[in-house]
Amino acid sequence: MNKFVPIVVSSVCSALLAVFIYKCFESPKMVYIEDAGASPVYTNFGEADPFSGRLQRTFLSSSPTDFIAAASVVTPAVVNIRAVESTNYSWWGAGSFGASSGSGVIVSPDGYIVTNNHVIEDGNKYQVTLNDRREYSAKLVATDPYTDLALLKVDDKDLPYMVFGNSDSLKVGEWVLAVGNPFNLESTVTAGIVSAKGRSIDILEGDYTIESFIQTDAAVNPGNSGGALVNTNGELVGINTAIITRSGKYEGYSFAIPATLVQKVIRDLRDYGEVQRGLLGIHIGAINSEKARELKLPYVEGVYISGISPGGGAEDAGLKAEDVIVGINNVKIRTIPELQEQVGRLHPGATISVDYIRDGKRKTAQVTLKDKNQATKLTVRGDDREILSRLGFSLRELNTDERRKLRVSGVYVEGIEVGSTIEKTEMDAGYIITKVGEVRVSSVQEVINELKKRRGKEVYLEGFYENYPGEYYYTFEIK
């Protein structure tokens, strides 16, 4: 036994010596920790009714690049939507019929479905088919043309649904999946990477449009509209909306609405029947090299304020024309889409920190957002201002300078929504209402009071435009 002791001691000493020598010559290793830098947020559809209660991870989802698990999770929650437009046939056989189709995503177990507005806008009946071929008739909850989103509802429980992810944590180059129902096929999955963020492609119309798309090269075809863009963890990070193509087919450029914006819009559609938009109260423009030099900017980035809306949050906070916004709530702002996306997530009444540059110096202002009627309260069904939203125009009182210059009392039409009752009268923004019927008005509340008295009746407005001679009259019906 004693003869083995020297051998064991010698072996141990040799091993320790070998480890010591290896450590002396080994190069130091770098350990990389990936962190998306995003704050945790709830991934459920509604704050008041947490369907999942799960928290968004703060690390990147793209590693490992295994698409199998994600695809198996999300495909049951992606549906086909068939929108049918039909009119009643008369005794003589007159009538019309048309149909369009696209995709949608179930976002709650009790049947709320998000899709694109352009998928359903031409229909009045909606047929939803799940991946397992179950069929439902859906009702339209509400739409928002300014973000091209719509919310449908089917009556059932325990449906497969998709969990929201944090689109802010997406990185350019990260793998994503596009899931939809192109050409009426059952759920189809394609893969690609995030090509860019904050893209604007000028496809939406109106004064309050928000275009801050996630661009990917995942194959998206016409029937994919309204379908899901998901990360490799199977979380919804966008709603596929558009492609850029010259052939009419997929060419490598597809665009999705970020999930952080989608959540806010569809929650508003569910709770209020319309989107509660918080507005800065500014007119904006892009920054180029010449403008950057003129305004003494350190970089060619930011959002130029070309004008201030009277009575808006920006005016109250002291912002002025020719200021350049470079940050919102400590988030760097480089482009107009980035500004629109950050503000578009917030409600009237929210106070935000705005970083801006004036005369080459960086400053900060606290701005309380207001709605299009310069109010800070949310518009609840039945509120006075709901009637303005339904008719589709925003009003404000004339300011002191305007009253002095025009020598008249009235109410200024600041904006008109595309496709609204007011737009169909061919009224333009800038119209100054002086009478509702035979009653003179000088405040927004007086206009609202007179409109409420005329529900179900025909209304005519009398007024004028500052730069055009004569009186102008507009007639419409309040339903």
Query: What is 84-123 written as a DSSP string?
Result: EEE----TT----EEEEEEEEEE-STT-EEEE-HHHHTT-
Distances in Å between the Cα of 387 and the Cα atoms of 164, 258, 321, 382, 393 are: 33, 30, 32, 8, 9
225 assigned to active site: yes
**Contact in structure between 271 and 153 (CB atoms under 8 Å):** no
Active-site annotation holder among 148, 217, 268, 371: 148
Single out the residue of 82, 106, 229 nearest to residue 158, CA to CA.
106
Active-site annotation holder among 118, 212, 217, 355: 118
Active-site annotation holder among 101, 212, 225, 394: 225
Query: Which stretch of DSSP H or E encloses residue 74?
Result: helix 67-74
**Contact in structure between 350 and 371 (CB atoms under 8 Å):** no
Distances in Å between the Cα of 420 and the Cα atoms of 107, 138, 208, 424, 478 are: 29, 24, 14, 6, 12
Distances in Å between the Cα of 425 and the Cα atoms of 364, 395, 453, 455, 459 are: 42, 16, 20, 17, 11
Q: Where are the beta strands (DSSP E) in 145-253?
A: 149-153, 175-180, 188-199, 213-216, 228-230, 236-243
Query: Which stretch of DSSP H or E encloses residue 413?
Result: strand 411-416
Cross-strand pairs, 305: 284
Q: In the chain, what is the straight-line distance between the N-terminal and C-terminal CA atoms, in Å?
A: 105
Q: Which amino acid is at 70?
A: A
Structure tokens at 293: 């030099």
CB atoms within 10 A of CB 16: 10
195 assigned to active site: no
148 assigned to active site: yes
Query: What is 121-150 written as a DSSP string?
Result: TT-SEEEEE-TT--EEEEEEEEEETTTTEE
Q: In angstroms, how far apart are the furthest CA atoms of the chain?
A: 120
The burial class, CB within 10 Å (0-12 / 13-18 / 19+), for 32 is exposed
Q: Which amino acid is at 230?
A: V
Residues serving a catalytic function are 118, 148, 225
